[in-house]
């Protein structure tokens, strides 16, 4: 696929482009501070699958337009939910989109340009890395609405920052500044311009071997769900896969020859 074809992708609530092997998704529903309604969630799922199916894409960056990353789920739509079954289905469909993002086989970065609240923070949590603009505000305010986080927040947040810190945010519903988010380990970096920093971070990451990046990510993610000993087994298996690639032969040869490696993704 050429870059020209990517630009032609028609979405109502987001823009999708590929620049320098990085898929860039910009959520654009500014009249609602980029809140996630069912149409936008569907389009995100399509965009993630589009990126995964493009062999040129080595990383993905997701951001918001205007003053929000994503200010939450669509509250008006949530108000219409009748009973537990509809609520469960709504949570599962949102989780499905976040899980599609989390399972992408290359590194993903959230460029948090403004408010990342509720479903917006859950979207950022499904990425591998998070870069926040200095004025950004983050939080899971659902309990103040009589709800709980439903797109993965109660599960991904404690895995990222620990149960105590996660419960502090989830039970108070408070918003934290980008600076506190960095201190909590909720974001990886602060920047004046989150998108520029995220693109620069993606460019740095994708200089490395693409298969190795995917396997390293897989090792970390799968290891979180098992014991240390089982995790070490997973690591050894994936190390074996990495060691059998042409990229590993190229990387080690380049190191010994004191030259820059040329990785082909084989």
Q: Are 65 and 115 in contact (CB under 8 A)?
A: no
Question: 7, 142, 197, 264: which is the annotated catalytic residue?
Answer: 142
Q: Within 10 A of 232 (CB to CB), how many other CB atoms are there?
A: 13
122 belongs to the catalytic site? yes
On whether the CB atoms of residues 106 and 214 are closer than 8 A, the answer is yes
Q: How far is CA 104 from CA 12, 58, 116, 180, 243, in A?
A: 23, 10, 21, 28, 22
Phi, psi angles (nearest 5°) of residue 14: -150, 165
Catalytic site residue from 122, 179, 197, 233: 122
d(CA 130, CA 108) in angstroms, rounded, equals 9
Is 233 one of the catalytic residues?
no
Give the gyration radius of the chain's Cα atoms.
19
The conformation of residue 73, written as its DSSP 8-state character, comes to: B
Q: What is the DSSP string of 32-51?
A: GTT-B-HHHHHHHHHHHHHH
Record the tokens describing residue 206, joined without a space: 């994708």
The two structure tokens encoding residue 134: 């200095």
> Which residues are the active-site residues?
122, 142
């Amino acid at each position: 696929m050429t870059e020209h074809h990517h630009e032609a992708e028609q979405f109502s609530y987001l823009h999708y482009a590929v620049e320098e092997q990085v898929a860039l998704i910009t959520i654009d529903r500014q009249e609602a501070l980029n809140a996630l309604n069912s149409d936008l969630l569907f389009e995100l799922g399509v965009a993630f699958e589009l990126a995964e199916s493009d062999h040129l894409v080595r990383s993905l960056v997701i951001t918001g337009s205007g003053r929000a990353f994503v200010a939450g789920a669509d509250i008006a739509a949530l108000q219409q939910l009748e009973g537990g079954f509809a609520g469960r289905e709504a949570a599962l469909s949102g989780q499905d989109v976040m899980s599609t993002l989390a399972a992408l086989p290359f590194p993903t970065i959230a460029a948090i340009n403004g408010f990342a609240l509720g479903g917006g923070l859950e979207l950022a949590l499904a990425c591998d890395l998070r870069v926040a603009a200095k004025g950004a505000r983050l939080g899971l305010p659902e309990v103040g609405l009589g709800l709980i986080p439903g797109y993965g927040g109660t599960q991904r947040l404690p895995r990222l920052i620990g149960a105590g810190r996660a419960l502090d945010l989830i039970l108070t519903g408070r918003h934290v500044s980008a600076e506190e988010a960095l201190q909590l380990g909720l974001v990886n970096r602060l920047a004046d311009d989150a998108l520029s920093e995220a693109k620069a971070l993606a460019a740095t990451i994708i200089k490395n071997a693409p298969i190795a990046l995917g396997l390293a990510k897989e090792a970390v993610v799968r290891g979180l769900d098992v014991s240390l000993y089982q995790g070490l087994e997973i690591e050894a298996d994936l190390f074996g896969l990495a060691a059998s690639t042409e990229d590993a032969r190229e990387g080690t040869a380049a190191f010994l020859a004191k030259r820059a490696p040329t990785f082909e993704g084989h």
